[in-house]
Amino acid sequence: MIKKLLILFVFCSILTANAQYTPVINSNKPGFSESPYSVGSGVYQFETSVFYRKMNATPTFSNPEALGLNLFFRTSFFSEKLEFNFNTSLQRDKIAFKNIFESSYNKTGLSQFSLGAKYMIYAPKYDDKSKEIRSWKARHSFDWKRWIPHVGVSVGLNIGNFLTDYHERGGFSPKIGLLLQNEFSDKLNVITNVHYDYIGTDFSQFSYIITGTYNFDDYWSGFAEMQGIFEEYEKKTNIGAGAAYLFNENLQFNASIRANLQQDEIGFYSAIGVSYRINKHQDEFVEIDEFGNKIENEKQVKYDEDRNFFGRMFSKIGKLFSKKRKQKVDLDISNKTDEDLLNEKPRRERQESLVDMIAKEDKKQKKKTAKEERKAAKKAQRKAEKEAKRKEKERLKLEKEIKKAEEEEAKRKEKERLKLEKEIKKLEEEIKKEDQKEQEKEDN
């Protein structure tokens, strides 16, 4: 039974999916890129990895070494195309200060904490050439529509309040992304991501990721990936490769290795991980006809829907000025005679003036705008105060580091001075002894 399920792996491996829900786990690991597909409703998926990064220290403050654990949680509800996720990393960092001299210290804590969501907005349909029986050439020719990618969008919120001082980037900040996936064949897929992260902070960054994935068989797949990160004062690039092994339909193991390029320094990054899902997915009931086709309700078209934009607009304006008879029915007829009921006529009520309606809406909109401006001003003030506190904290920290460095330098110089004085004193004693020996020779 398991072997039959694993045959589907060629259609849904690490970064592959032909539907929102797949019988076999669909994991983003071991790559950094993200597929536009969601995991499907009723699926709770955990993607974890242990990573180690090492490179030489760069001028001033840098993070040349890190060892940590990453957790990426994914689930889907409301819609098959909509996914919610949570991403965090706990790591031990080596923080280095390099200027005239080099010093370092270790710090452990969260380096990442974000909430996100993604939605697939377009999925192209490809021709099933396996059903072509009239032409061998047509059956084995390339389908050029496969250059049209699946398209998804992602949004997220970075929360920096839980992070260590080195990784904090302005508290709360949004991020957006464009997710593309080309399925060139049942075995070869290419993922392209474009992200704009930490929006509105001093550390905003633009990045791209290109990942190619190839399925070797029902169990093994490999990938190659290139990522570029552009910040205001720095550019980072990493090139990586790795492999994944499908243990069963809900469990996958993976490993990867990368080369990091940063400020003319080359380092390496390695990771091993596991992806596991809890599958509670249930297929929706679909009503079909005797031919197996889905039965859909016919949409009722209103008269206004056949008109163009201006036709619908004038129709709604006309309805405002149209006279409508409003009849108020008194259900209590116990005190009324038959003659009163026959002679009773409905009363017409005056409709509210269009000018008054516009004036009320304008007043309401002004209140809403003023409220939003006050809210934005308070938010900007809080942000400025928080940024000032952060900068003051960094200044005090830098002064502390400089003071410590100066004290160490002063101790080193004092030690060298004492050593030099000791050597001079020893040399003077040797010269004095030689002079005494010469004097004794002259006296003899």
> Does residue 440 sit in helix, strand or coil?
helix
| DSSP H or E segment with residue 210 | strand 205-215
Q: Measured between alpha carbons, how far is 225 from 246 in angstroms, rounded to an integer?
A: 20
- In this prediction the pTM is 0.58
Residue range 204-212: mean pLDDT, rounded: 94
Q: Measured between alpha carbons, how far is 83 from 32 in angstroms, rounded to an integer?
A: 17
Given this model, what pLDDT does residue 11 score? 35
pLDDT band at 10 (very low <50, low <70, confident <90, very high): very low
Given this model, what pLDDT does residue 160 score? 87
Residue 313: pLDDT above 80? no
Given this model, what pLDDT does residue 170 score? 79
Neighbours of 278 (CB within 10 A): 12
Residue 77: pLDDT above 80? yes
Q: Measured between alpha carbons, how far is 187 from 15 in angstroms, rounded to an integer?
A: 11
> Does residue 46 sit in helix, strand or coil?
strand
Given this model, what pLDDT does residue 192 score? 96
- For residues 269, 85, 250 and 255, what is the CA-based torsion angle, rounded to 10 degrees? 0
pLDDT tens track for 372-409: 999 999 999 999 999 999 999 999 999 999 999 999 99
pLDDT band at 278 (very low <50, low <70, confident <90, very high): very high
Given this model, what pLDDT does residue 41 score? 87
- R_g (Cα) of the chain, nearest Å: 36
Given this model, what pLDDT does residue 78 score? 84
**CA 43, 45, 49 angle in degrees (round to 5)?**
170
Residue range 425-440: mean pLDDT, rounded: 87
Residue 438: pLDDT above 80? yes
| DSSP secondary structure string for all residues of 91-154 | EEEEEEEESSSEEEEEEEEEEEEEEEEEEEEE------GGG--S-HHHHHS--GGGGSPEEEEE
Average pLDDT of the chain, as a whole number: 81
Residue 305: pLDDT above 90? no
Residue 16: pLDDT above 50? no
Given this model, what pLDDT does residue 2 score? 41
Residue range 162-168: mean pLDDT, rounded: 87
Q: Measured between alpha carbons, how far is 254 from 272 in angstroms, rounded to an integer?
A: 6
pLDDT tens track for 172-203: 999 999 999 998 888 899 999 999 999 998 88
Given this model, what pLDDT does residue 233 score? 82
Give 187 or 170, the one with higher predicted confidence: 187
| Most distant CA atoms of the chain, gap in Å | 165
pLDDT band at 432 (very low <50, low <70, confident <90, very high): confident
Given this model, what pLDDT does residue 337 score? 56
pLDDT tens track for 329-374: 455 555 555 555 555 544 444 455 666 778 888 888 888 899 899 9
Residue ranges of domains in the chain: 2-134+143-279
Residue range 60-84: mean pLDDT, rounded: 91
Question: Given phi > 0 = left and psi -120 to 50 = alpha, else beta, which region is 222?
Answer: beta
Q: For domain 2-134+143-279, give the CATH number.
A: 2.40.160.40
> Does residue 247 sit in helix, strand or coil?
strand
